[in-house]
Structure formats: C-alpha cells, structure tokens
Chain A
Amino acid sequence: EIVLTQSPATLSLSPGERATLSCRASQSVSSYLAWYQQKPGQAPRLLIYDASNRATGIPARFSGSGSGTDFTLTISSLEPEDFAVYYCLQRSNALTFGGGTKVEIK
C-alpha cells in the first residue's frame, strides 16, 4: 500500500499570503496525484488532478506540480474561502489519501 505523507500538518497564514503544501509518496505514483479541499461539514472537492491539472471551475490561484514521489499544491494568494483542510490522493496503485494539511487563519 502506497503511503502519502503531507506536510506541514497545519499552516497558519493570513489572507493574501502564498500557501505551499507538500505531499510525499512512499514510492513513485508517476503523475497520478490529486488534491482535494474539504471544509467543515462538507464533502471534499477536487482541485487538481494528474498532479498539475485544475479541475472544472477551480480558480487559477490553485496550482499543482511534481511527479514521482514529491508533489506540491500552491495557493498563490489566499482568499478567505481557502481556509480549509487539503488532502492529496494517489491512484497509481489502488488509492490512498494523505493525512491532510489544515490551512488556518493566522
């Protein structure tokens, strides 16, 4: 089973700042890596698929990069609605979610 490790666990930032979230896989997942956003009481929402492609309707301030074992989700300038928990997901070998990164207001 592929393990995804997300860091940091919590990111404390102010609106307008840049957020950089990391996801590391225990073995190569090629580009089969996605990012989800989850807000309290809501189902997750797909942001990025195949490492760097934005899903339908996702603002351009969200971007993804990486391949193999190291991936990054970048939010270029945090909006108030972006404070949430973010999960990476691999679909290279079955599926696995990472443990999540909470982006909170500083």
Chain B
Amino acid sequence: EVQLVESGGGLVQPGGSLRLSCAASGFTFSSYSMNWVRQAPGKGLEWVSYISSSSSTIYYADSVKGRFTISRDSAKNSLYLQMNSLRAEDTAVYYCAGPLGYCSSTSCSDYWGQGTLVTVSS
C-alpha cells in the first residue's frame, strides 16, 4: 500500500522557518518525481514545488521562489520542504504528492499524503 506521511507542520511566527518532511513507502520512491501542493483554509489548490527523481530538475511557484527549498533523500525514502521567511499568506495545509497530471503507459501514480497544517501568525 502506498503511503505518504507528512510531518513538521505547526505554528510559526512571520519571518520564521519550518521544515516539512514526507515519508514515502509502498512504492519505489527513487523512481518518481515528487511535489509539494498547498491549500489555504477554504481556498483552492496551489502547486508549490517539484523535484525530479534524480533531483536534477527543480521548480518553484513564483510565490515561494527564493524562500522555499525542496529536496529529497532516496536512501531514506523522504521528501523535504525547507520554508524560510514565512508569511501569513503561507498558512495552508501542505500536501506531499507524487507525479502530478500524468500516467505512464502502465499505471497512474496518483499519490497524495494526508497533509500537514502550517500556520503563520504572531
């Protein structure tokens, strides 16, 4: 069974930092690109960041570029999101997700975690 389990969310003051982790199991983590997606309370989905299977390609949404850093450790089957200079508008549930928007010729790897809440407030 595929599992993505996020951790590291919580309450942080504006300007502060937080590191999210996502533990993956039930699939060959090293073979898949991964993403972070967030959803502010009562709002829509916002893609945050992408990392390829080899970490050679990384993308960020304009809203977090220069403040957030995505990384992965395939030896630990883990995905990370380092969030610095946090703002109130970063308050959201952060989802760890597998490949987004496509399927291979053999399967659709539509993998999502349950989300972790990050609240930025003084």
Binding site for B on A (CB under 8 A): 1, 32-34, 36, 38, 43-46, 49-50, 53, 55-56, 85, 87, 89-91, 94-100
Q: Using a CB–CB distance below 8 Å, which chain B residues touch chain A?
A: 35, 37, 44-47, 50, 59-62, 95, 97, 100-103, 107-108, 110, 112-115
Flag if B50 contacts A43 (CB, 8 Å): no
Partner of B114, one of A43, A56, A95: A43
Q: Give the chain B neighbours of A95 by CB distance below 8 A.
A: 35, 47, 50, 59, 100-101
Are A56 and B103 in contact, with the CB atoms below 8 A? yes
Chain B residues positioned under 8 Å from A38 (CB to CB):
45
Kindly list chain A residues whose C-beta atoms are within 8 Å of the C-beta of B100. Answer: 34, 89, 91, 95
Asked if residues B61 and A1 are in contact (CB atoms below 8 Å), the reply is yes
- Evaluate contact between A91 and B107: CB separation under 8 angstroms: no
